[in-house]
Structure 1
Amino acid sequence: MHPDHPDDTDRQMANALRALAMDAVQQARSGHPGAPMGMAEMAVALWGRHLRHDPADPQWPDRDRFVLSNGHASMLLYALLHLSGYDLPMQELRRFRQLHSLTPGHPEVGHTPGVETTTGPLGQGLANAVGMALAEKLLADEFNREGHAVVDHRTFAFVGDGCLMEGISHEACSLAAAWRLRKLVVLYDDNGISIDGPVGPWFPDDTPARFRAYGWQVLGPIDGHDVAAVDAALRQATAPDSERPTLIVCRTEIGRGSPHRAGSAKAHGEALGEAEVQLTREAIGWPHPPFHIPPPVYAAWDARARGAAWRQHWHARLAAYRDAHPRLATEFERRLRGELPGDFQETLLPLLAGFGASTEAVATRRASQQVLAALAHALPELLGGSADLTGSTLTDFPRCGAVAGDRPGGRHIHYGVREFGMAAVMNGLALHGGWLPYGGTFLTFSDYSRNALRMAALMRCRVVHVLTHDSIGLGEDGPTHQPVEHAASLRLIPGLDVWRPCDTAETAVAWSSAVQRPGPSALLLSRQVLPAQRRNAEQVTAIQQGAYVLSDRPQALAVLLATGSEVGLAVQAQGLLDARGVPVRIVSMPCSSVFDRQPDEWQAQVLPPGLPRFGVEAGVTRWWSQYGCVAALGLDGYGASAPAAELSRHFGLTAERLAEHVVLHLDALQRALPAAG
Structure 2
Amino acid sequence: MTQTTSVARLSINAIRMLALDAVEQARSGHPGMPMGMAPAAYVLWTEFLKHNPLDPTWPARDRFVLSAGHGSMLLYALLHLSGYDLPMEELRRFRQWGSKTPGHPEYGHTPGVEVTTGPLGQGIATAVGMAIAERKLVAEFGEIAAHHTYVIASDGDLMEGVSAEASSLAGHLGLGKLIVLYDDNGVSIDGSTALAFTEDPLRRYEAYGWHVVPEVDGEDLAAVRSALQEAQADPRPSLIAVRSIIGYGSPLAGQPKAHSDAMGPEKVAATRETLGWPYPPFEVPEEVYADFRRVRERGQELQAAWQAQFESFAQAHPEKAAEFHRRMSQRLPEGLEAHLPRFAPGERMATRAASGKVLERLVPLLPELVGGSADLTPSNNTRTPDMQDFTRDNPAGRYIRYGVREHAMGAIMNGMALSKALRPYGGTFLVFSDYMRPAIRLAALMGTPTIFVFTHDSIAVGEDGPTHQPVEQLMSLRAIPNLWVIRPADAGETAVAWRVALERTAGPTALVLTRQPVPVLEGVRPDGVARGGYVIADAEGARAVVVATGSEVALALEAQGLLHKEGIPVRVVSLPCWEAFEAQTQAYREAVLPPGLPVLAVEAGVPLGWERYATRVVGLDRFGASAPFADVYAKLGFTKERVAAEVRAMLGV
TM-score band (shorter)? Answer: over 0.9
Q: Which residue of 1 aligns with 2:432?
A: 445
Q: For residues 511 and 540 of structure 1, what CA distance do their matches in structure 2 show?
A: 11
- Say whether the 8 Å CA contact 1:358–1:505 is kept in structure 2: no
Whether 2:569 is the aligned partner of 1:580: answer no
Q: AA paired with 1:461? A: T
Question: Is the CA contact 2:4–2:221 (under 8 Å) kept in the aligned structure 1?
Answer: no
Measured in 1, the distance between the counterparts of 2:88 and 2:607 equals 52
Structure 1 equivalent of residue 476 of structure 2: 489
Alignment of 1:153-552 (within 5 A): 153-239=147-233, 242-259=234-251, 261-302=252-293, 303-341=295-333, 343=334, 346-348=335-337, 350-352=338-340, 354-355=341-342, 359-518=346-505, 519-535=507-523, 539-552=525-538
Give the counterpart of 1:126 among 124, 127, 136: 124
Using the TM superposition, name which of 9-18 and 79-88 deviates more.
Answer: 9-18
Distance apart, 1:335 and its partner CA: 1.4
Q: Residues 60-108 of structure 1, C-alpha deviation per residue, up to 9 Å, x if partnerless?
A: 0101000000000000000000001111111110010111111111111
Partner amino acid for 2:511? L
Please tell me whether the aligned partners of residues 10 and 227 of structure 1 are also in contact (alpha carbons under 8 angstroms).
Answer: no
* C-alpha distance in 1 between matches for 2:359 and 2:130: 23
How far is 1:326 from its partner?
1.1
In structure 2, the partner of 1:110 is 108
Q: Is the contact between residue 488 and residue 512 of structure 2 (CA under 8 Å) also seen in structure 1?
A: yes
Counterpart of 1:619 in structure 2 is 605
Q: Offset of 1:154 from its aligned partner?
A: 0.3
Q: 2: distance between equivalents of 1:188 and 1:108?
A: 21
Aligned counterparts of 2:205 and 2:361: Cα–Cα separation in 1: 40
Whichever residue aligns with residue 52 of structure 2, its letter is: D
Task: Provide the rounded CA distance (Å) in 2 between the counterparts of 1:426 and 1:311.
Answer: 27
Provide Cα deviations, 1:201-255, integer angstroms capped at 9, x if missing partner. Answer: 201110110000000000011111211111100011112xx21000000111100
1: CA distance, partners of 2:322 / 2:639:
54
CA distance in 2, matches of 1:559, 1:204: 60
Q: Deviations over 1:38-80 (max 9, x none)?
A: 1011111111111110000000010100000000000000000
Distance 2:608 2:264 in 1: 49
Q: 1:39 and 2:30 equivalent?
A: no
Match of 2:636 in 1: 651
- Secondary structure of 2:150's counterpart equals strand
- Structure 2 CA distance for partners of 1:653 and 1:487, relative to 1, 3 Å: same
- TM-score with structure 2 length normalisation? 0.98
Separation (CA, whole Å) in 1 of partners of 2:572 and 2:248: 66
Deviation at 1:328, TM superposition (A): 1.1
Distance 1:405 1:133 in 2: 12
Asked if structure 1 preserves the Cα contact closer than 8 Å seen for 2:607 and 2:621, the reply is yes
Q: Is the 8 A contact 1:471 1:526 kept in 2?
A: yes
Does residue 640 of the first structure (1) align with residue 634 of the second (2)? no
Superposition deviation, residue 540 in structure 1: 2.9
Runs of 5+ consecutive residues of structure 2 not aligned to the other structure:
none
CA contact (8 A) 1:474 1:644 kept: yes
The alpha carbon displacement at 1:269 in A equals: 1.1
2: distance between equivalents of 1:599 and 1:31? 42
3-state SS in 1 of match to 2:463: coil
Shift of 1:374: 1.1
Q: For residues 424-462 of structure 1, what are the alpha-carbon distances to aligned partners after superposition, in whole Å with 9 as ceiling and x for unaligned?
A: 000000112210000000000000000110100000001
C-alpha deviation, 1:194, in angstroms: 1.0
Q: Deviations over 1:123-143 (max 9, x none)?
A: 000011110010000000111
What is the rounded CA distance, in whole Å, between the counterparts of 1:474 and 1:407 in structure 2? 35
Letter in 2 for 1:522: A
1:188 touches 1:248 (CA, 8 Å); kept in 2? yes
Unaligned runs of 5+ in 1: 671-677
Q: 2 CA distance for matches of 1:142 and 1:514?
A: 24
Tell me the matched-pair count. Answer: 649
Contact 2:343 2:520 in 1 (8 A): no
Query: Which residue of the partner structure matches residue 97 of structure 2?
Result: 99
Q: Contact 1:135 / 1:433 at 8 angstroms: preserved in 2?
A: no
Distance 2:161 2:126 in 1: 14
Partner of 1:555: 541
Report the secondary structure of 2:536's partner residue. strand
Q: In structure 1, how many angstroms separate the alpha carbons of the residues matched to 2:164 and 2:345?
A: 44
1:622 Cα deviation after fit: 2.1
Separation in structure 2 between the aligned mates of residue 656 and residue 115 of structure 1, nearest angstrom: 56
Deviations 1:102-123 (A, max 9, x none): 1111111111110000000000
Letter in 2 for 1:644: F
Task: Give 3-state SS (helix, strand or coil) of 2:144's partner.
Answer: coil
RMSD: 1.1
Measure, in 2, the Cα distance between the counterparts of 1:590 and 1:355: 18
Query: Compared with structure 1, are the counterparts of its residues 583 and 358 closer, same or farther at alpha carbon in structure 2 (3 Å cutoff)?
Result: closer
Is the CA contact (8 Å cut-off) linking 2:598 and 2:650 kept in structure 1? Answer: no
2-side partners of 1:520 and 1:594: how far apart? 13
Deviation at 1:356, TM superposition (A): 5.9
SS at match of 1:221: strand
User: Given the two structures, how large is their TM-score scaled by the length of structure 1?
Assistant: 0.95
Q: How many Å apart are 1:545 and its aligned residue?
A: 0.8
Amino acid across the alignment from 1:207:
P
* Cα distance in 2 for residues equivalent to 1:338 and 1:571: 38
Partner of 1:140: 138
Query: Distance in 1 between the 2:226 and 2:464 partners?
Result: 54
Shift of 1:6: 4.9
Distance 1:462 1:266 in 2: 39
Deviation at 1:375, TM superposition (A): 1.3
The alignment partner of 1:117 has SS state of coil
The alignment partner of 1:403 has SS state of: coil
Question: Is the Cα–Cα contact under 8 Å of residues 454 and 511 in structure 2 kept in the other structure?
Answer: yes
